[in-house]
Structure 1
Amino acid sequence: MNIFKRFWKSLFSPQDIATFRKDKVGSSIVYIIVLTFVMFLPLAYFTTTTMNNALEVGESTLKNEIPDFTVQDGKLVTDDSSDDSSDDSSVENLPISIDEGNLHVYYDASGTLDEDDVDNKIGSFDGAFAFLSKEIYVTAGGISQSVSYKTLGIENKDDLLSLYASITDMSKIFIPVILLLIFLFALGSTFFRVALFGLFGYILTGFGRGGVSYKENWMMATYAVTLAAMFTMIMEWLQIVVPYGMEINLVVTLIVLFLAIRSIPAQTKDEK
């Protein structure tokens, strides 16, 4: 049975999943890689879109809407070039919030915002660049990173614009590299989950005394994750946040694996 038929059967047939325990290990490894890649597609799309939008919107936003600043002792300080004391709006209006569709830019030299505040302000599938008091915080596609101004070599707004220009030039290289790293992490995570589900099945079958080895439980777990994986992928494409999504996926996978084990003929178990 080819990989597409196995995928289709894995969505609704625990009985077929039980028969897949006799497949070659190599076939299951290929299946995990393909399944992870399919799950990775929405994350890759939204991450790439967010980054490209950030690069397109960023130049005009940084130049025109982010005030001049310097970094003193590692902290962001807004330049006040006005001699009129009534023009203190650059400080009073902090933090500054700029919304460009799914991209959000924040500037806050006052220390009012922190990373959690930024995460709470944006949608689950939105991206944000936040110039916080002591660091730059970037989040996109569920991945977040904070970097200090000193680490980036930023001492003023001109340094930021220069860094932005360099990043724009390198975007065709670093975006694929970032996506590759994310995929490898997702792949490792999938293998780890399959191993845990295989262990669960091994325990259910009496640590092999039921005639089903850990290898066979691992093979069944490989296909038992399919339904939950597809549900997660569809929700990510639709940008719908499912409450307790991880717990739901866990329960669904365990139920499918349990039903697959239950469907193994008793005589097959007794053969060993």
Structure 2
Amino acid sequence: MNVFQQLYKSIYSPKDIAKFRFQGIGKTIRFIFLLALISIIPVAVQFVSFATNALDTLKDSLDNELPSFSIEDGTLTSENSGPVTLEKEGMTIILDDTGQMNEGNLDRNENTVAFLKNDFVVISQGHVQSSSYTLFGDSTVTEDGLLDILNSLKDLKWILIPVALSILYVFTSGMTFLKITIFAIIGVTFANVLKRNVPYRQSFRITAYSSTVSTVFFTLIELLQTRIPAAPILDWFVITVILYLVVKEIPQRKIRQ
């Protein structure tokens, strides 16, 4: 049975998951990498869409609509007397050198690029990235300088995007391994309570497959751009319930007379 068949079986059959406890660890590791790949699909799609559209939109706004400004000694100054907000094709662009706005009062539900007094903030699908202007060092940066940077990024985007996604995949894979490692301890606890013979190495295997339903469910939810309150708690609850059902499918230990 290949990993895709196992993926399908793991969605609905605790009995089949219980059988996977005897397979080689290499196959389980490949399956965990597959789960990590599935889980980043929504973020990857949103990131590629935002990165490609945002560069063009921001370049056009700097060229034609935003007032002149400069960044010097880590601080933004503008010829405008107050904050400027532009609504552009599903993205909000903000320029504010007054300090009235900060990262905390930006709307995380909107795709946003904000030039604030001391920080540059990007919000994409609820994910916030903030960088200080001290990144530019002692040099003075104007909108013309930023346009040059944007043009360079635009030329390199099909190199930078795969690199960024690769880093995301490695990080997500590591976090997935960590989560399964922790939940495997819960699997051993269930086995002891239910009098099943499940050593930790087998618990690790069945925990990986018990994570399938939660991974697929939250991937679909994110693709639909739906928000679920307390999503991590629901994720842990689903994994725990399925892991319990899988352990129950394992025959009880035989008691020697």
Q: Deviations over 1:75-100 (max 9, x none)?
A: 11112xxxxxxxxxx31xx3222222
Match of 1:132 among 116, 121, 145: 116
One of 180, 199, 206 as aligned partner of 2:166: 180
Question: Cα gap change, 1:32/1:142 in structure 2, threshold over 3 Å: closer, same or farther?
Answer: farther
- The residue aligned with 2:14 is 14
1:87 paired residue number: none
User: Matches of 2:185 and 2:126 in 1, distance apart?
Assistant: 29
Residue in 2 aligned with 1:54?
A: 54
Distance 1:49 1:133 in 2: 27
Contact kept, 8 Å, 1:39 with 1:230, in 2: the verdict is yes
Task: Judge conservation of contact 1:53–1:103 (CA < 8 Å) in 2.
Answer: no
**What is the aligned partner in structure 2 of residue 171 from structure 1?**
157
2:64 corresponds in structure 1 to 64
Q: CA RMSD in A?
A: 2.0
Moved more, 14-23 or 43-52: 14-23
Cα distance between partner residues in 2 of 1:163 and 1:200: 50
| Cα distance between partner residues in 1 of 2:104 and 2:190 | 41
Q: How does 1:1-272 map to 2 (within 5 A)?
A: 1-79=1-79, 90-91=80-81, 94-118=82-106, 121-123=107-109, 126-152=110-136, 153-206=139-192, 210-266=196-252, 269-270=253-254
SS at match of 2:254: helix
Residue identity matched to 2:192: G
State the AA in 1 paired with 2:69: F
Contact kept in structure 2, 1:42 and 1:236, CA below 8 Å: yes
Task: Label 1:271 to 1:29 Cα distance change in 2 as closer, same or farther (>3 A).
Answer: farther
Call closer, same or farther: CA 1:154–1:49 in 2, change over 3 Å: farther
Percent of aligned pairs with the same amino acid = 28
Q: TM-score scaled to structure 2, two decimals? A: 0.92
Unaligned runs of 5+ in 2: none
Aligned partners of 1:224 and 1:256 also within 8 Å:
yes
Alignment: residue pair count: 254
Partner Cα distance (1:177, 1:238) in 2: 26
Q: Deviations over 1:251-272 (max 9, x none)?
A: 0100000111111111xx3389
Asked whether the equivalents of residues 198 and 217 of structure 1 are also in contact (C-alpha less than 8 Å), the reply is: yes
Per-residue deviation at 1:13?
Answer: 1.4
Q: Give secondary structure in 2 for the equivalent of 1:11.
A: helix
Deviation at 1:199, TM superposition (A): 1.1
**Larger deviation, residues 216-225 vs 61-70:** 61-70
Taking structure 1 as reference, are residues 178 and 143 closer, same or farther at Cα in structure 2, changes over 3 Å only?
A: farther
Structure 2 residue aligned with 1:85 = none
Do the aligned partners of residues 205 and 43 (structure 1) sit closer, same or farther apart at CA in structure 2, a change above 3 Å counting?
Answer: same
Letter in 1 for 2:93: V
Distance in 1, Cα, partners of 2:61 & 2:67? 10
Matches of 1:32 and 1:11, distance apart in 2: 14
Q: Partners of 1:164 and 1:231 in 2: how far apart?
A: 37
Tell me the amino acid that sits aligned with residue 84 of structure 2: I
